[in-house]
Amino acid sequence: MDEEEEQSVDIYHNPRCSKSRATLALLEERGIDVSVIEYLKEPPDDIELRQILDLLAIPARELLRTGEAPYKELGLDDMSLSEDAIIEAIVNNPILMERPIVVTASKARIGRPPEAVLEIL
C-alpha cells in the first residue's frame, strides 16, 4: 500500500460466499482498514457500478454470475444485449454481480482467487 496517502479500501461482500469471506479475512490479516459493503443489502446504483467496471477494466458481461437464477430468467445469455441492459440487470438483481470486489480510489479487483486483490494494495 502506498504510504504517502491513506488509501480507502472497500469490499463488495457477500457474507454467505466463502471466497468473499476469505478475501475479507486476507485483508484484515494484513491490517488493511476496509469498509465492508454488503452489496445484496446496499447494491451499487448505475453510476457506482459503471465506476467499478471502469476500475476493473472489464465489460459488464464479465461481472455476471451465470449460475444465478436471474441470469437465465432475464435471458442474459443473449450476446446481443447492450452494456446498458446488462448493467441495468445487475443493478436490479445484485445477486448477479461477481464477488467479492475490492475497490480503491484508482483500482479494483475481483477476489477470485482472494489473493488477486493484493495486486492493487
The catalytic residue positions are: 17
Output the nine-digit C-alpha cell for 66. 451465470
* Exposed e or buried b per residue across 24-46, where buried means at least 16 C-beta atoms within 10 angstroms of its C-beta: bebbeeeebebebbebbeebbee
- Is residue 61 a contact partner of residue 51, using CB atoms and an 8 Å limit? no
Q: Is the four-CA dihedral 88, 110, 32, 120 of positive or negative sign?
A: negative
- In the numeric block, the cell 471502469 is attached to 54
Output the nine-digit C-alpha cell for 104. 480503491
